[in-house]
Structure 1
């Protein structure tokens, strides 16, 4: 389980008085106000003093950021909270994406076929990415739709997800150019 969870990313400055664009990744964007302090990757602490909605982001004032120059220095800084600061999931159908990273991936027969490396949202729905652990599969990672049809079981407590057989890649990768396939010419 992840020790820190990414909850927001500081964007470009907004205006000249030290406000920043803030991209919030929490289910309830205003919940980011209740996590105090937020920290960056190095552990530097940040406190949001005001937050207001804008077109596709939020505008925030951070304690100690008084001008545009200070705001510019924070562009693209990720903000984290300790995993323990987040509320428990409401039910077993709800979970944090970060809790899935590292879970084992199994087929429907229970054989381990990989490990979850990421979850993505490219706009058309979530995609689960995993590193395969099957012989002959040379892909570094594979992706499946993160839907009930493709991933019928998500068992965070048990440390696994199950991928439906129709979505399991079992074909060996094509040989690389110049690679010996063992076939005679």
Structure 2
């Protein structure tokens, strides 16, 4: 399991007093204020969210020690993490992306298919990305039908590859 989870990314400065735009990757966007100090991936820097408010598609946050627009601008693009144990437990059938990345992907017959390298969501549901030992990565719907088993303790996911994908015929050239 991952020891750190990325919960937010700092965007552009907001105003002149050091506030930043903050995009969160949590179910409740305002929860970032309650996790305690947020840190960079390497743990070298920590940030305490002192004030946060909702904006259109992001939050506007004030971070302790960041008082000027110039300070805020230097943080643009920085990802913020918390220790995994600070996050709430997931419900059955729910997973943190970081817990899935790196798991072995196997077929229902327990044949190796590759490793989970990412979970994406482009707006129409979660997509699991599997990297085989060689060849192109597979992007598959992260549904119960395609991924019937997630075994975190066993370090694997079972993948039921779709037999045929509608509309997957080669185009006819005339």
Give your verdict on TM over 0.5. yes
Output aligned runs, 1:1-185, within 5 Å: 1-43=1-43, 44-91=45-92, 93-133=93-133, 138-139=135-136, 141-166=137-162
What is the Cα-based RMSD across aligned positions, in Å?
1.5
Tell me the CA shift for residue 167 of structure 1: 5.9
Which 4+ residue blocks in structure 1 deviate beyond 4 angstroms? none
Deviations 1:3-50 (A, max 9, x none): 110000000011111110000101111111111110012320100000
Secondary structure of the corresponding residue to residue 166 of structure 1 = coil
Q: Which residues of structure 1 form unaligned runs of 5+? A: 169-185
Task: Decide which structure has the larger Cα Rg and report it.
Answer: 1
Scaled by the length of structure 1, the TM-score of the pair is 0.83
Of 81-90 and 62-71, deviating more is 81-90
Task: Calculate the TM-score normalised by the size of structure 2.
Answer: 0.88
Q: Give the gaps of 5 or more residues in structure 2.
A: 165-174
Q: Is residue 150–residue 167 contact of structure 1 (8 Å, CA) maintained in 2?
A: no
